[in-house]
């Protein structure tokens, strides 16, 4: 039987990802910065993933798009919400997952899933960028470091500075003030991680915690944030080998289901 090749594309506010599956196995993937045009980002992410997979475009039987820019992917056969896709992708990679925490570039989501990755309940913060990837980028810049350096600073701290505001604008002013008062950058970084964790834990309680917990999205690469969330939840938090592609992977799995259902 001919190998089933399908693709998932996730267009986020900060990055675009594509995953190519061949009979349920990841053959190639890509992660690129999102540009001003979602359509162009989708095309580039798809092209890069195909190149890594060593496959021509015409080999792909079905494409599903997800993410906030999913409506701007003209070559997609179907469009599905990122809530559905992160649930499916997380359980595919880590089958014991029952709660998914996804911190994206502009919003945060907590999703409770069943053993198949189907969504049982979810909640999200999409009213502002507080505690998201964009928030961390701004705070890293104020601390004169990059995101990797931010995580290292927080990991080196002995205690956390108190950050009272999670609004990006007000928190930036607060951090500038703390620096002016001579507060160590390490303590400020850890304080920001703790503040993010508080916000996420509040979302988790809305859907009721179900173990095990998996974190997806680019912020999952920040070990200090993951550790802070784990401490406040009182449970371990798993992170996939490449947490940024989980949405695109879930979209590819939805595409796979669609093709198999037709057959």
Q: How many Å separate Cα 63 from the centre of its chain?
A: 20
What is the length of the chain? Answer: 263
* Spatial separation of the C-alpha atoms in residues 4 and 69, rounded to whole Å: 26
| DSSP 3-state of 234 | coil
CB atoms within 10 A of CB 38: 21
Element (H, E) at 111: strand 108-113
* Spatial separation of the C-alpha atoms in residues 7 and 29, rounded to whole Å: 9
Supply 21's token pair: 């599956």
Cis bond before residue 212 (omega within 30° of 0): yes
What's the DSSP call for residue 231? H
What's the DSSP call for residue 58? G
pTM of structure: 0.93
The pLDDT value recorded for residue 132 is: 83
* Spatial separation of the C-alpha atoms in residues 139 and 117, rounded to whole Å: 33
CB atoms within 10 A of CB 189: 29
Q: What are the angstrom distances between the C-alpha of 111 and each of 65, 91, 214? A: 19, 12, 10
Q: What are the angstrom distances between the C-alpha of 139 and each of 64, 102, 193? A: 34, 19, 10
> Phi first, then psi: what are they for 3, rounded to 5°?
-65, 135
Beta strands in 126-233 (DSSP E): 213-216
Q: Which residue ranges of the chain lie beneath pLDDT 50?
A: none
The pLDDT value recorded for residue 262 is: 84
Pick from 261, 246, 226: nearest CA to 66: 246
The pLDDT value recorded for residue 168 is: 81
């Amino acid at each position: 039987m001919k190998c089933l090749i399908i693709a998932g594309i996730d267009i986020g506010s900060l990055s675009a990802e594509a995953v190519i599956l061949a009979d349920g196995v990841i053959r190639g993937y890509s992660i690129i910065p999102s540009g001003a045009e979602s359509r162009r980002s989708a095309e580039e992410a798809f092209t890069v993933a195909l190149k890594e997979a060593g496959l021509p475009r015409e080999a792909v039987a079905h494409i599903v798009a997800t993410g906030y820019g999913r409506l701007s992917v003209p070559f997609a056969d179907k469009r599905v919400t990122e809530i559905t896709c992160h649930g499916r992708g997380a359980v595919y990679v880590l089958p014991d997952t029952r709660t998914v925490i996804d911190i994206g570039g502009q919003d945060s989501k907590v999703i409770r899933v069943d053993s198949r990755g189907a969504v049982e309940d979810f909640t999200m913060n999409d009213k502002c960028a507080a505690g998201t990837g964009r928030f961390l980028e701004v705070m890293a810049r104020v601390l004169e470091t990059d995101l990797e350096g931010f995580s290292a600073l927080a990991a080196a701290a002995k205690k956390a500075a108190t950050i009272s505001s999670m609004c990006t604008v007000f928190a930036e002013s607060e951090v500038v003030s703390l620096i002016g008062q001579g507060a160590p950058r390490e303590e400020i970084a850890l304080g920001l991680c703790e503040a993010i964790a508080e916000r996420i834990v509040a979302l988790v309680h809305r859907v009721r915690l179900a173990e095990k917990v998996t974190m997806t999205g680019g912020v999952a690469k920040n070990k200090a944030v993951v550790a802070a969330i784990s401490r406040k939840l009182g449970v371990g938090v798993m992170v996939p080998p490449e947490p940024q592609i989980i949405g695109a992977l879930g979209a590819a799995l939805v595409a796979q289901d669609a093709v198999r259902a037709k057959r």
